[in-house]
């Protein structure tokens, strides 16, 4: 069931917004241009409207929004923390890993720069020595080791971006 939900999340994000994150040996990048961020387009919305929508999104999404907001510069930038738990293959068993990160949103008229910063993957690394960490790619030969975990991370981060896009595009004026 979890794999089915993960597949649905991947397909949904591929249909509804143009840019997507992908997990690369160098880190989390935009699939479109290999930058470490996405540019989300919201034609016709001002930077102030986008900022207000982001603040509303954080307030409606988190139990304690004042605790998760790390930086708030009105109409310019909003940074908030999030956490995700997953399991990583380690030999024949799966080990729980907690991932913590900050979402950083920068606002301009008609677009939002969305970046994942301060990413701590709880002992997992994009590329590394397989004897020292849970490396997605082996640093010695460059081969993908943890394909399922790579796919789960991509689906998760793209679903988080999609939640934000959906929240901004929702018309709250109609009840």
Domain boundaries, the chain: 2-168
Running DSSP on this structure, what letter comes out for residue 127? Answer: E
Q: Which CATH class is domain 2-168?
A: alpha beta
User: How far is the C-alpha of 164 from the C-alpha of 54, rounded, in Å?
Assistant: 7
Does residue 49 register a pLDDT over 80? yes
Tens digits of residue pLDDT in 86-108: 999 887 888 999 999 999 999 99
Does residue 10 register a pLDDT over 70? no
Tens digits of residue pLDDT in 148-168: 999 999 999 999 999 999 999
- Can you give the pTM of this predicted structure? 0.84
Contacts 24+ apart (CB under 8 A), 29-36: 36/115, 36/116
Among 23-27, 73-77, 106-110, 129-133, which is the least confidently predicted range?
129-133
Does residue 59 register a pLDDT over 70? yes
pLDDT at 3 (0 to 100): 44
- Reported as a pLDDT band with limits 50, 70 and 90, residue 17 is low
User: Is-contact 171 22, C-beta < 8 A?
Assistant: no
User: Is-contact 170 42, C-beta < 8 A?
Assistant: no
How many whole angstroms from its chain centre is CA 167? 15
């Amino acid at each position: 069931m979890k794999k089915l939900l993960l597949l649905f999340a991947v397909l949904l994000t591929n249909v509804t917004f143009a840019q997507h994150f992908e997990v690369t040996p160098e880190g989390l990048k935009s699939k479109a241009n290999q930058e470490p961020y996405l540019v989300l387009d919201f034609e016709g919305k001002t930077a102030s409207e986008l900022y207000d929508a982001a603040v509303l999104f954080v307030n409606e999404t988190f139990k304690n929004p004042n605790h998760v907001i790390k930086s708030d510069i009105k109409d310019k930038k909003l940074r908030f923390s999030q956490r995700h738990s997953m399991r990583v293959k380690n030999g024949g068993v799966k080990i729980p890993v907690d991932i913590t990160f900050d979402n950083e949103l920068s606002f301009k008229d008609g677009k939002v720069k969305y970046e994942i910063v301060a990413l701590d993957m709880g002992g997992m690394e994009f590329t590394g020595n397989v004897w020292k960490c849970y490396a997605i790619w082996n640093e010695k030969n460059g081969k993908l080791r943890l394909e399922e975990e790579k796919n789960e991370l991509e689906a998760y981060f793209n679903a988080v971006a999609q939640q934000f896009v959906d929240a901004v595009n929702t018309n709250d004026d109609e009840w």
